[in-house]
Amino acid sequence: MSKPISRKQAIRAAAIELFAAKGFQGASTAEVAKLAGVSEGTIFYHFQTKEGILLSLIDDMFDGYVAVIGQSIAEAATGLEAIECYLRGHLRHVEERWNEISLLIRDVPPSFKDDDSPQRAHVLSRIAQLEALIVAAIEKGQIDGSIRPCDPAAIARILRGRLKGLTSMMALEKFSITEMSDELCQFCRRALAARA
């Protein structure tokens, strides 16, 4: 017998559905509450603000993403294989959690962009956690000889930027990015592989 979902989980599920359909700005907390079958006060009890719901969704996405990517990188035999695992893992994650990811591409609230915003600082700290994994994979490759000498932090940002660009293109052009995983891995292998 499956365990019933909590009110907090119901709010999150309703928010994903409404934010995906109407956008973050277009969905109200009253609508989220109605769809979740809770009072609006319950939303504010669990999340304080609508931005709090979004931060919770972001944390959940990052937790799953970082766990999968971290495990893939740790299990890879070489640093270059770890980078390929990261690329493929990212593409799979995007397709599996598209409704949530599309929110981040389309609907980042203005408050998340303010330099002194606590939400921005929180998201940046999660991104730094991911970048540390990528940098570690590149450094692993430099130690094991599979990745050429380069600046690991710069390459990590370039890789993240490439994946973010593909993810944004997917939102507009509606194609499967996992179908490109072999080509993307070959592209990165040619760019990063140590020369024999």
Q: Are 131 and 62 in contact (CB under 8 A)?
A: no
- Rounded percentage of the chain residues whose pLDDT exceeds 90: 44
**For the packed helices 50-75 and 118-144, what is the interaxial angle rounded to 10 degrees?**
10
Q: Give me the amino acid identity at 91.
A: L
pLDDT tens column, 11-47? 999 998 888 888 888 899 999 999 999 999 999 999 9
Instruction: Residues 55-192: name the CATH superfamily.
Output: Tetracycline Repressor, domain 2 (1.10.357.10)
What is residue 2's predicted lDDT score, i.e. its pLDDT?
A: 57
Let me know if domain 1-48 sits in CATH 1.10.10.60. yes
pLDDT tens column, 134-186? 999 999 999 999 999 999 999 999 999 999 888 888 878 877 777 888 999 99
Domain boundaries, the chain: 1-48, 55-192
DSSP state of 147: B
User: Which tokens sit at 99?
Assistant: 């409704």
Q: Which residues pair with 147 in a beta bridge?
A: 193
Average pLDDT score, the chain: 88
